[in-house]
Amino acid sequence: MATNAWTQVAGQLNSQIVIRDLVVFNVDIYGCTQSSGRLFRWNGSNAWVEVAGNLNTQNAITSLVVFNGRLYGGTSTGGRLFRWNDTNAWVEVAAELNSQTQIASLAVYNGSLCAGTWPDGKLFRWNGVGAWVEVAPQLIGGTLAITDLIVFDDGSGDALYGSTWNAGRLQQWNDVNAWVSVAPLFSGQSSHFSLAVYRGSIYGGTSPGGQLFQWNGVNAWTTIAAQLNGQTNIRSLVVHKNKLYGGTSAGGRLFEFHIPPGQIIGPMVV
C-alpha cells in the first residue's frame, strides 16, 4: 500500500474546503463545493476556476451528473435538482421530496436520472419534468445517506451501486425497490463518500481516513492507497483521460492518483 500514490493538481479556491463531487463535462473536470454551493472547473494543470457562484441560497451543491448533454446539480439544504445554463448560473428543475433535504448523489441509470438522499438514505428518480419520484425506501440498518451512485457492469449487465454514510458499505440496487449489501465496513472507515469505475473495477474514497479502496467484485474491499496528504476525506472521485482524480476535504483540493510501482489493480478499460 503506497503512501505517495496521489499528486495534488489543484489547491483550495475561494475558501471552499470541501469538493463534494466531481464530473467530466465537455472534456473538463468540474467540481462542486459544500460551504457556499459553487461550481468550479479545473484548468487542466494546477488550479480551480470558479464558473458559477452560490446556487439560489442553497448552501451546498452536493452532487453532479451529466444527463442528455446537460450538467445537473443536487443540493442541500433544500434537496433540489438544478440544471446549469452552461454559462454562469443554475435553473431549478425539481423541488424537495419527502423531507429529504440533501441530494447526496446523482447517476444516470437505464435512461433515467437517479438520486441518493439524506437524511433517510432513499433512492429517487427524476420524472424528467419537474419533480422527484421515490423508488426505494431507506436502506436496511438505518443508513443516513447514499453518498454516491455509480453504474457498473460486472459481466452480467449494468447495475446501480451506492455507497453509504455511517455504515461504510457498498450496496447494489435490485432494480425493483430495495438494496443488497455487497461489501461491509472495512478497516474502520465508517463512510464511503465516493465511487468511480476505474480500470474495470469499482473504487471507493473513504472517511475518516482518506483512503482509496478497490472492490473485489464479490463481497469485500481492499486498500489501494493510504491517507491522501493529510486529507481526512476523499469526498469525490472521477476518471478523466484514463486517470483517476479525487476531490477532498478539509482542504478542497484535487489530486491525481498514480498506480504504485509493482502494484496490479486491474486492466485498463478505454
Is residue 264 situated within a structural domain? no
User: Is position 270 within any domain?
Assistant: no
The total domain count for the chain is 1
| 21: CATH | 2.120.10.80
> Which pLDDT belongs to residue 192?
83
Q: Going by C-beta distance under 8 Å and a sequence separation of 6 or more, which residues neighbour residue 195?
A: 148, 149, 150, 161, 162, 163, 170, 202, 203, 204, 205, 237
- Asked whether the beta carbons of 73 and 81 are under 8 A apart, the reply is yes
pLDDT of 270 reads: 33
266 assigned to some structural domain: no
What is the tens place of the pLDDT at every residue in 42-62? 999 999 999 988 877 778 999
Give domain status of residue 269, yes or no.
Answer: no
What is the pLDDT at residue 261?
Answer: 64
Taking residue 208's Cβ as centre, other Cβ atoms within 10 Å add up to 12
Residue-range definition of the domain harbouring residue 183:
6-257
* Domain contains 25: yes
**183 within domain boundaries:** yes
Write down how long the chain is.
270
**pLDDT score, position 264:** 64
d(CA 12, CA 267): 33
Instruction: Report whether 170 contacts 177 (CB < 8 A).
Output: no
Q: Looking at the domain assignment, is residue 41 inside a domain?
A: yes
pTM above 0.85, yes or no: yes
Stretches where the chain sits below pLDDT 50 are 1-2, 268-270
Q: What pLDDT is attached to residue 138? A: 83
163: how many CB neighbours lie within 10 A of its CB? Answer: 30
267 within a domain of the structure (yes/no): no
